Amino acid sequence: MTEPSTAEPVILAEGVSAGFDDRVLFRDVTFDVRRGEVFVILGGSGCGKSTLLKLMIGLVPPRAGRITILDTEVWATEGRARLELLRRIGVMWQQGALFGSQTLLENVEMPLAEHTGLPPAARTEVARAKLGLVGLSEAANRLPSEVSGGMLKRAGIARALALDPPILFLDEPSAGLDPITSAGLDELIRDLSRSLGTTFVVVTHELASILAIGDRCIMLDREAKGMIAQGDPRELRDHSTHPTVRAFFRREAA
């Protein structure tokens, strides 16, 4: 794998603003995500980090600015080109968003059946491999309601991996998990990033997680209505002079 800091950008956000009705969430956010890195979007509750994620995957339109993923501008493409782009990204939703009436294996098989010409037996084999990648081989035939929260998130990652997208978006992977399960998930993210070279964009406010997985990060702030820091999370923890950034990393009330 190439060194993240010198790798080419796969996502470019230029002067992006977002908000609802007359409320501005953030203004003029600019950053890039480079191939193969684990990029973390962090910030306190209500700063708009989940909205930024939805903006990048094309669910919510930006008020201003441009987002380019793999040389395709997200909000300027339609029809086939957009579908093509969506096939090259995977999303793990905060609650897993698995289909409750299907087993974990069937959940992972669904995008394969929809978007590839794999023969049925091969499809099952590939879906088993994806579940194996996230350590869920034995739970393949269980329903989402029958597995724990940590397993749900792993299954969510397996489904997001179904079409082997070069970029994976994870929304709050550690939310609602105990520290041990959460650390296991961090381990998995690092492992997949290392062995498959997948680029990860992770939205989180879990401090331990940020420091464990993040190659680079940006921090959004609700008060400042924008980005207040960018860089290596360990650098930010040790050297940032911004009071909110310092408070965040030291777990102090700002």
Partner 1 sequence: MAAPATTEGLETRQEANARVLALTGRLDTPAAAQLWPKVMAEAAGGPAVLDVAGLTALDTTGATLLLAAEGAGKDNTIRGASPQVKAVLDRVRDALAAPRPKPEPRLPILARIGMATWNLGGAMLGGVAFLGELTVTLLLSLLRPARLRFREILRHLDEAGTRAFPLTILLGFLLGVILAFQSAIPLRRFGAEIFVPNLVGISLMRELGPLMAGVILAGRTGSAYAAELGTMSVNEEVAALRIMGIDPMALLVLPRVLAGMLVMPVLSLLLTLAGLAGMAMIMGVLGFPLSTVTTQLASMVTLSDLLGGLLKAAIFGLAIAGIGCHAGLGAGRGPRAVGDAATTAVVGGIVSIILLDGIFAVAYERLGL
Residues that bind partner 1 (CB under 8 A): 1, 100-101, 112, 116-119, 122, 125-126, 128-133, 135, 137-145, 161, 163-164, 191, 194-197
The distance of closest approach from Cβ of residue 195 to partner 1 in the complex, given in angstroms and rounded to an integer, is 4
Nearest CA to 25 out of 34, 33, 16 is that of 16
Of 163 and 202, the one with the shorter C-beta distance to partner 1 is 163
Task: In angstroms, give the least distance from the CB of 80 to partner 1.
Answer: 15
Q: What is the DSSP letter of 48?
A: S
Cβ pair 142, 64 in contact under 8 A: no
Min. distance of Cβ 117 from partner 1 in angstroms? 4
Q: State how far the Cα of 174 lies from the Cα of 186, in Å rounded to an integer.
A: 8
Beta partners for residue 39, in sequence order: 201, 216
Q: Can you tell me whether residue 138 is helix, strand or coil?
A: helix
Cβ proximity to partner 1: between 15 and 197 the closer is 197
| Residue positions counted in the chain | 254
According to DSSP, residue 166 is labeled S
Q: Which is nearer to partner 1, 179 or 197 (CB)?
A: 197
CB of 141 to partner 1, least distance (A): 5
State the minimum distance, in angstroms, from the CB of residue 68 to partner 1: 22
Compare residues 40 and 139 and give the one whose CB is closer to partner 1: 139
Pick from 29, 49, 36: nearest CA to 6: 36
Question: With respect to partner 1, which residue has the nearer C-beta, 122 or 254?
Answer: 122
